[in-house]
């Protein structure tokens, strides 16, 4: 089952601009994670935000979480061509099954 829905599905920006991606989910969560996938490759974990946190930073990444709206956003500042990839949110309900449920992804293209 798909828990998260990313918005937009695709985003094209110029180098140096900021990129914002949004994720909405349906059920209660323990934490929400963002992953990056380069074309034809596996996913790489970027950042995790817990349900009791509202904002988190890691380098050029800023993640926010609004549990009342069941939504999260990922902001990439000062984007680079190397940031071109698909970005996925994944929710963890903290249950015994230890399963993450992934969204449908946002394809980001950063033009040099």
Partner 1 sequence: DGGITQSPKYLFRKEGQNVTLSCEQNLNHDAMYWYRQDPGQGLRLIYYSQIVNDFQKGDIAEGYSVSREKKESFPLTVTSAQKNPTAFYLCASKRGEAGANVLTFGAGSRLTVL
Name the site residues for partner 1 (rule: CB under 8 A). 1-2, 4, 9, 30-31, 33, 35, 40-45, 48, 50, 88, 90, 92, 94, 97-105
By C-beta, is 16 or 54 nearer to partner 1?
54
C-alpha 81/C-alpha 56 separation (Å) is: 23
By C-beta, is 65 or 105 nearer to partner 1?
105
**DSSP strands (E only) in the chain:** 5-7, 10-14, 19-24, 31-37, 43-50, 55-58, 61-66, 71-76, 85-92, 100-102, 106-111
Pairing assessment for the beta strands 43-50 and 106-111 based on DSSP bridges = unpaired
Q: Nearest distance from residue 31's CB to partner 1, in Å?
A: 5
C-alpha 41/C-alpha 23 separation (Å) is: 22
Q: Nearest distance from residue 58's CB to partner 1, in Å?
A: 13
Q: Nearest distance from residue 100's CB to partner 1, in Å?
A: 6
C-alpha 54/C-alpha 43 separation (Å) is: 24
By C-beta, is 22 or 31 nearer to partner 1?
31
By C-beta, is 56 or 77 nearer to partner 1?
56
Q: Nearest distance from residue 16's CB to partner 1, in Å?
A: 28
């Amino acid at each position: 089952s798909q828990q998260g829905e990313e918005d937009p599905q695709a985003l094209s920006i110029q180098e140096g601009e900021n990129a914002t991606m949004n994720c909405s989910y349906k059920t209660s969560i323990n934490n929400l994670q963002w992953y990056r996938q380069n074309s034809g490759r596996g996913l790489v974990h970027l950042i995790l935000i817990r349900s009791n946190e509202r904002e988190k930073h890691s380098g050029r990444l800023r993640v926010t979480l609004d549990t009342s709206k069941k939504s999260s956003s990922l902001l990439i500042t000062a984007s680079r061509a190397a940031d071109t990839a698909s970005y996925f949110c994944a929710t963890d309900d903290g249950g015994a099954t230890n399963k993450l449920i992934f969204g449908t992804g946002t394809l980001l293209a950063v033009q040099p």
